[in-house]
Structure 1
Amino acid sequence: MNKKIQNLKVGLIFTLTLLLNTTIFAQSPEKLSYQAVVRNAENNLVANTQVGMQISILQGSESGAVVYSEVLTPTTNANGLVSVAIGEAADLSSIDWSNGTYFIKTETDPNGGTDYSIVGTSQLLSVPYALHAKSADGFTPGTTPGEMKYWNGSEWAVVTPGNEGDVLTFVNNTPTWVGEGSGEVIPTVTNPTTGKIWMDKNLGAEQVATSSFDEASYGDLYQWGRGTDGHEKRTSASTTSLSDTDTPGHGDFIINGNSPFDWRVPQNHNLWDGAAGINNPCPAGFRLPTENEWNLEMMTWSSMNVAGAFDSVLKLPAAGQRRFSDGDFYGVGVSGSYWASTLSNEAGGIYSRFMNFRYSAYVISAHRATANSVRCIKHY
Structure 2
Amino acid sequence: MKKLHILIASAIFTASLFAQSPEKMSYQAIVKDASDNLVRNQSIGIQINILQGSLSGTAVYVERHFPTTNSNGLVTMEIGNGTRVSGDISAIDWANGPYFIKTETDLNGGANYTITGTSQLLSVPYALHAKTAESITDTISETDPVFGASVASAITATDTAYWSNKLDTVTKAYVDARIIELLCQQGIGTVSDYDGNEYEIVKIGNQVWMAENLAYLPSVSPPSNGSYTVPYYYVSGYEGTSINEAKSTDNYQTYGVLYNWPAANEACPTGWHLPSDDEWKELEMFLGMSQAEADGYLERGTDEGGKLKEAGSTHWPSTNIGATNSSGFTALPGGWCLTGTEGGFHLFGAYALFWTSTQHNIDSYWYRRLGWENSKVFRANNGITDNGFSIRCVKD
Q: Could you state the TM-score of these two structures normalised by the residue count of structure 2?
A: 0.44
Whose helix fraction is larger, Structure 1's or Structure 2's?
Answer: 2
TM-score normalised by structure 1 residue count = 0.46
